[in-house]
């Protein structure tokens, strides 16, 4: 299935692989997705939508086995405070639903902050913009296409 994210990558000549998986609406966790696409959770990145008190809406891309460090994101985004947006705001802001949010081909372009751990892998997995499909691509291509800022914005989940 070609998504807006895949069409964007096609238009830019970026190599990627689409990997589909069975969706369990009761478990949309990155760990579950990772198991289904055959990658470690650290290599499957989730895109979280947050709002900074100064910069507005931001996208934070963190590994599936980690948690967003709100204080670290606030520092690198020049905000005093950042908070996750309400679930009901996801689709109006991004055009995507929970479990399908991606920084690629969204409704509007927001600043993107990618955890530096992404650069440790030759390939990372991110949502293709729909439930049940992941994009696998080089993290350097992802960073370039999304015009991301790389920083340490995640911590290991406990």
Taking the C-alpha atoms of residue 13 and residue 62, their distance in angstroms, rounded to an integer, is: 25
Q: What is the pLDDT of residue 27?
A: 86
Q: What is the pLDDT of residues 40-67, one digit of tens each?
A: 999 999 999 999 999 999 999 999 999 9
Taking the C-alpha atoms of residue 52 and residue 85, their distance in angstroms, rounded to an integer, is: 10
Domain chopping of the chain, boundaries: 4-156
Q: Determine the average pLDDT of the residues in 111-140.
A: 96
Q: How confident is the model at residue 30 (pLDDT cuts 50, 70, 90)?
A: confident
* Mean pLDDT, the chain, whole residue set: 93
Asked if residue 80 has pLDDT above 80, the reply is yes
Q: Determine the average pLDDT of the residues in 78-91.
A: 96
Contact between 102 and 130 under an 8 Å Cβ cutoff? The reply is: no
Fold assignment, 4-156: YbaK protein (3.90.960)
Q: How confident is the model at residue 157 (pLDDT cuts 50, 70, 90)?
A: low
Q: What is the pLDDT of residues 95-124, one digit of tens each?
A: 999 989 999 988 899 999 999 999 999 999
> What is the percentage of the chain residues whose pLDDT exceeds 90?
84
- What predicted TM-score, i.e. pTM, was given to this entire model? 0.94
Which segments of 23-156 are extended strands (E)?
Answer: 45-52, 56-63, 66-68, 82-84, 112-115, 124-127, 133-137, 149-151, 154-156
């Amino acid at each position: 299935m070609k998504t807006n994210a895949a069409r964007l990558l096609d238009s830019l000549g970026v190599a990627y692989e689409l990997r589909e998986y069975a969706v369990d609406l009761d478990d949309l966790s990155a760990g579950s997705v990772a198991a289904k696409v055959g990658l470690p959770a650290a290599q499957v990145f989730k895109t979280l939508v947050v709002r900074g008190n100064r910069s507005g809406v931001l996208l934070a891309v963190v590994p599936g086995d980690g948690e967003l460090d709100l204080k670290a994101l606030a520092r690198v985004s020049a905000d005093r405070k950042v908070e996750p947006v309400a679930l009901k705001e996801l689709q109006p802001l991004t055009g995507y639903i929970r479990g399908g949010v991606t920084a690629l081909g969204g409704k509007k372009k927001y600043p993107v902050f990618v955890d530096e751990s992404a650069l440790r892998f030759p390939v990372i997995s991110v949502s293709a913009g729909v439930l049940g499909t992941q994009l696998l691509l080089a993290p350097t291509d992802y960073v370039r296409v999304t015009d991301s800022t790389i920083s340490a914005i995640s911590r290991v989940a406990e």
